[in-house]
Amino acid sequence: MTNTGVTNTGVTDTGVTNIGVIGTGVIGAEHIRRLTTAVPGARITSVTDVDLDRARAVADSLAPGASVPATGAELIESPEVDAVVVTSWGSTHRDYVLGCIAAGKPVFCEKPLASSSTDCITILEAEVAAGRRYVQVGFMRRYDPAYLALRAAVHGGSLGAPLLMHAAHRNPALPAHFTGDMVVTDSAVHEFDLIRWMFADEIAAITAYTPRRNSRAKDGFPDPLVLVLELANGVLVDVEVLANARYGYDIRGEVVCEDGVAALSESAGVVVRSAGTVALGVPTDWPERFAAAFDIEFRSWLASVAGGEEPTGPDAWDGYAAAACIDAALVSLHDGGRVPVTLVDRPSLYRP
């Protein structure tokens, strides 16, 4: 997967993977910048978007020389592209991911893997039929140094068995196009994957609660939202999702175990003591809070692609399991009550 042609990365020409990016909005541009300046081993050879002017502008500014095909399907088929990054809207992911599997090209797909668990099953079936895994899903929290340290502490042996977890996902504000359901499909989905990974178990049931409404919430918005997740092994997790935290982007997690408690630390930044107070910074938003996680995530993905190996990160099964949690959480949010999470049998392709 090397190419000695156009170079826009500044990385050496050996061992460089030619990447095509579908969707050049906020995170698409972020990932192109990351792959051209921060993470070695990639060359952006092609970009596209439903808005081709936006794609051309992003190519001109971040990946000069990259081609701009008219559609994502053309990009996937292009001989200039060895692997694909999908960062378009979630509802478009399924077809692009299926196109990559059919073309035999590795694909990094931002979450969600698809907009329904049924569509995710179609992707599982395509990979099973192909006989190998091509898909990695962008659940970057698994690569976050703080979450990795929390997981290591929980499973290190000195704290005893984990019993429950308190988690919070506080956004300063949400983009104008967000709908109420996107608090689940776009925000809480990160916790669904993170908690499955943290405890190496499936989520068995979800109950949604909507406490006193934030007066700043848009009509129909569940803000705040509390989700209680029951794992198959009995661990219970409460997740607070706040859409209008205002003060910053605050991600919190505390795991209570039989012999102790482990929590994400307050801040990775500097501690300032001044005027009788001790102050810690709070990240402004997700690109700042998870910058290191995204970098490590892409290093890992590129290593597997360059080696011609299956990806080692979150796979299509993880994307499907998170989608099944979304289904259950939305039913509970709209209809009330405790809703079981139902999963199809896990194909052997995805066994750990």
Restricting to residues 19-38, name those near ligand NAP by CB under 6 A: 22-28
- Considering the complex, state which of residue 92 and residue 210 has its C-beta at the smaller distance from ligand NAP: 92
- Residue 322 in 3-state DSSP? helix
172 binds ligand NAP (CB under 6 A): no
Residue with structure tokens 């569509």?
119
R_g over Cα of the chain: 21
Q: Please state the closest distance from residue 44 (CB atom) to ligand NAP, in A.
A: 15
Q: What's at 37, amino acid-wise?
A: T
Spatial CA neighbour of 236 closest among 270, 286, 199, 193: 199
Binding mask 262-301 for ligand NAP (x = CB under 6 A): ------------------------x---------------
CB 113 within 8 A of CB 137: yes
Name the segment binding ligand NAP (CB under 6 A); options: 2-10, 88-96, 126-134, 242-250: 88-96
Q: Please state the closest distance from residue 94 (CB atom) to ligand NAP, in A.
A: 11
DSSP 165-226: EEEEEE-S---TT--TTHIIIIIIHHHHHHHHHHHTS-EEEEEEE--SPPTTSPTT---SEE
Restricting to residues 109-148, name those near ligand NAP by CB under 6 A: 110-111, 138, 140
CB 85 within 8 A of CB 74: no
Q: Is the dihedral of CA 279, 282, 288, 289 positive or negative?
A: positive
Q: Please state the closest distance from residue 140 (CB atom) to ligand NAP, in A.
A: 5
Q: What's at 300, amino acid-wise?
A: S
- Considering the complex, state which of residue 11 and residue 148 has its C-beta at the smaller distance from ligand NAP: 148
Binding mask 202-241 for ligand NAP (x = CB under 6 A): ----------------------------------------
When binding is defined by CB under 6 A, the residue of 7, 92, 122, 244 that contacts ligand NAP is: 92
Q: Is the dihedral of CA 292, 295, 301, 303 positive or negative?
A: negative
Contacting positions for ligand NAP (CB under 6 A): 22-28, 49-51, 54, 72, 87-90, 92, 110-111, 138, 140, 186, 286
